[in-house]
Amino acid sequence: MRTLRKIRSHQVMTTSSALIAQTQSARGVATRPSEAGDGSTQNVTLRTPTRRARSNSDAAARETGLTVPVQAPRRPARKTGSGIGVKRSMLESYLRDGPPHGKVREGLQELKYLVLSSRVDADSDGMSAYRIYLWLILLNIPAVRTDDYLALIHRGRSPAYSKIRNDTFRTLATDPLFKRRVTEASLIRLLNAVAWKLHDSKVKPKSRPTSSRRRERESLVDTPPRIPEEPEETGSVASSLVADSAIYVQGMNVLCAPFLYAARSEVEAFALFHYFVTKECPGYIRGAMDGVHRGLRLVDRCLEIVEPKLAAHLSSKGLHAELYAFPSVLTLCACTPPLPEVLHLWDFLFAYGPHLNIICIVAQLIRMRDTLLESPR
């Protein structure tokens, strides 16, 4: 109420002063110093224009004598998203509406093609309202309960906690966009939760031996024999790789960073990152990083096929992929700025396969071909 009184009194005073000034101008009387220089004043009749100049802010109040309503400042329009009045892209509309006639396989192929042809709409910081859901669909990741993630957090420090703390403060340290959005505490929590998850998968529960009395009781009961379920081939291979993996290796912090940056919650980032390191590239998190070294050998072989002259030039200088491409292979080019372009690259990799990161690294070398060939060092 006090604020309303102040606004009202200000408008009344403005209107009153305007009426006084208008009356004086109508009479044509003004006061000016005397030309004699004795400091006295005298009334002099001046010719004034018929209309008096005024500001646009109180023009309506002066003419009509009504109060001017105070308008709230307008909020800036959203650059991305699906609010009212915002035109959706073809990719976003397809993602929201789903495949036509429930054809999931054909719809997934169309979704991948739209990622390749029209790219995800994002602002200058690389933020998109639907990118994280696109990643979850392309990687076929089921929903994760928040309580499950919180249970891992509440277990405290994992056996790899000290290694995690030695790397988190260096994660994309020179990227202002990442530092502004993702805190070191969230990185520590997510990596620690993944470490606990990998630790639990390595520890196999011991089967409890069956007592002789229980065996006799089960033999007396006429029950059909249980047929053991055949494990899936992919599941057994993945479980064996996870069993041989470490719970944390250097470089997982950078590989985790884009997930946290693009996600709308830590639970989404946890689901994506854990699935990615255990299903898509389990060789990357093994103690010896076998998957990374195999990728580096693939970079050399692909470059020899596509650009033999450039491959021979780098080989003559003693430059193999293990020396210059190790971070790019390990982090799927997340170490190469700018971060918004990394997110667009990952859209493509998740749509058509993370193994294409090797081809993308070779493409980077081809774009720098002339510069590399002309460099004396």
Rounded CA-CA distance 228/95 in Å is 40
Rounded CA-CA distance 80/123 in Å is 6
pLDDT at 262: 96
Q: Is the dihedral of CA 15, 18, 23, 29 positive or negative?
A: positive
Ramachandran region, residue 126 (left: φ > 0; alpha: ψ -120 to 50; beta: rest) = left
Least confident segment among 57-66, 235-244, 258-267, 348-357:
57-66
CB 131 within 8 A of CB 120: yes
The amino acid sitting at 293 is: H
Q: Assign 149 a pLDDT band (cuts: 50, 70, 90).
A: very high
Cα atoms in the 13 Å half-sphere on the side-chain side of 105: 0
- Parallel, antiparallel or unpaired: strands 41-45 and 29-33: antiparallel
Rounded CA-CA distance 261/315 in Å is 37
Is the overall model pTM greater than 0.85, yes or no?
no
pLDDT at 72: 54
Rounded CA-CA distance 202/370 in Å is 48
Instruction: Calculate mean pLDDT across residues 69-98.
Output: 63
Distances (CA, A) of 348 to 94, 114, 117, 251, 344: 17, 10, 10, 21, 7
Q: Assign 66 a pLDDT band (cuts: 50, 70, 90).
A: very low
Tell me the pLDDT tens digit for each residue of 173-191: 999 999 999 999 999 999 9
Q: Among candidates 256, 123, 138, which has minimal Cα distance to 189?
A: 256
Residue 27 pLDDT > 80, yes or no?
no
Structure tokens at 181: 């959005």
Residue that wins the pLDDT comparison between 219 and 294: 294
Q: What is the separation, in whole angstroms, between the first and last Cα of the chain?
A: 75
- Taking residue 82's Cβ as centre, other Cβ atoms within 10 Å add up to 15
pLDDT at 94: 87
Rounded to the nearest angstrom, the gap between the alpha carbon of residue 368 and the centroid of all alpha carbons in its chain is 28
Residue that wins the pLDDT comparison between 231 and 376: 376
pLDDT at 13: 58
Q: What percent of the chain has pLDDT over 90?
A: 56
In three-state form (DSSP H/G/I as H, E/B as E, the rest C), the secondary structure along 70-123 is: CCCCCCCCCCCCCCCCCCCCHHHHHHHHCCHHHCHHHHHHHHHHHHHHHCCCCC
Rounded CA-CA distance 332/315 in Å is 23
Structure tokens at 2: 């006090």
Tell me the pLDDT tens digit for each residue of 208-262: 444 444 454 444 344 443 433 334 444 445 555 555 568 999 889 999 999 999 9
Q: Assign 100 a pLDDT band (cuts: 50, 70, 90).
A: confident
Q: What percent of the chain has pLDDT over 70?
A: 66
Residue 207 pLDDT > 50, yes or no?
no
Residue that wins the pLDDT comparison between 354 and 44: 354
